[in-house]
Amino acid sequence: MISCSAPGKVILFGEHAVVYGKPAIALAVDRRVRCKMSKANEKTTVNGYDINYQHHSYILKCIEKTGVSDPLKITTVSDLPSGAGMGSSAAITVSTLGGLYNLKGFSELESIAKDAFQIEYEVQGGASPIDTSTSLHGSAVMVYEKEMNNLLWTIEKDGKVWNVHHIKIPDIHIVIGDTGIGAPTGPLVEKVRRFYSKSNFAKEVIEDIGNLVLEGRKALEEEDLHKIGKLMNKNHKLLSILGVSHPKLNGLVKAAKRYSYGAKLTGAGGGGSIVALTEHPEKVASAIEERGGTPYILDSSKNGLKVEQTSK
């Protein structure tokens, strides 16, 4: 039997601009997905059901990719809400790959990073490696087409190059505020693409976000929470100019900012969630609730993929 766990993530800086080769930073959070597996007699099951693509697309792809052919009894437990932009599909993929590779006696992180990215890409029909790499590595990662210090691995696909770097982070409290409004990533990326292709102003905004992310990296390494918060506020304004915010996101940002260093939408926008950085998580959570959002109080997590238990 083997049990592995992997964390969720929030994007702290740089969503959307990352699509144009700019850097983005994501932070691992202390809510995890756990995946337990042991050999079974006849067929592979997930949480008691026969494995099937409709319900277990990520897990099935993990099995195909690693070539594990023995039937398995797989159990998953998640304390990450799904659909709130916290990377639950990446965490499921990384924790499952961790278990399967362990069964094969192999655990090279760079290969897991590449496989996990490829699986998200195939299931979602496109992805950047930021979610899967953050879940695998923990702490925080910056993806960027340029290579910087503390390179972890490089992922290439369809002519795009993502260098994935480790970033040192302070212990921080964050609060997520989920609007409850579902907004798929694809159409929002497309909306920004239309704006970008027609307007030099949009190109300048993307450039500004890229520069802000590099400042954010420095502020994280210097543990300057005030600076990180200011940059989050600025990033939210720039994302609003790009047209990916929503009145409810703006309302939650405004409510959270009263007790925070800073707050911004996180992920694709158009709905989804905000993230706030704060010393007063309970106060921020209440403010988010009063504005009609669902709050999740989280801490940053230094741990990425963890093997929690192995036995014969």
* Cβ 19 to ligand PMV shortest distance, Å: 5
> Residue 226, Cβ neighbours under 10 Å: how many?
11
Q: Which residue from 302, 252, 251, 243 is spatially nearest to 276, judged by alpha carbons? A: 252
* Cβ 89 to ligand PMV shortest distance, Å: 9
* Cβ 250 to ligand PMV shortest distance, Å: 18
Instruction: Give me the residues that bind ligand PMV (CB under 6 A), please.
Output: 11, 15-16, 18-19, 85, 127-128, 131, 185, 189, 267-268
Residues contacting 236, CB < 8 A, separation 6+ = 245, 253, 263, 264, 265
What distances in angstroms separate CA 285 from CA 144, 174, 225, 279, 305, one per listed residue?
Answer: 32, 10, 19, 12, 28
* Cβ 185 to ligand PMV shortest distance, Å: 4
Whole-angstrom distance, CA of residue 128 vs CA of residue 195? 21
Backbone angles phi, psi at 19, to 5 degrees: -65, -25
Q: Which residue from 148, 171, 191 is spatially nearest to 23, judged by alpha carbons? A: 148
Per the listing, tokens 């994280």 go with 220
Whole-angstrom distance, CA of residue 293 vs CA of residue 120? 28
Catalytic annotation present for 115: no
Conformational region of residue 166, where left means phi above 0, alpha means psi within -120 to 50, and beta covers everything else: beta
Residue type, 175: V
Q: How many helices (H) and strands (E) does the chain have?
A: 9, 13
Please pick, among 131, 171, 208, 224, the residue that the annotation labels catalytic.
Answer: 131
**CB-based contact 102:305 (threshold 8 Å):** no
Residue nearest to ligand PMV (CB): 267
Q: Name the residues annotated as catalytic.
A: 131
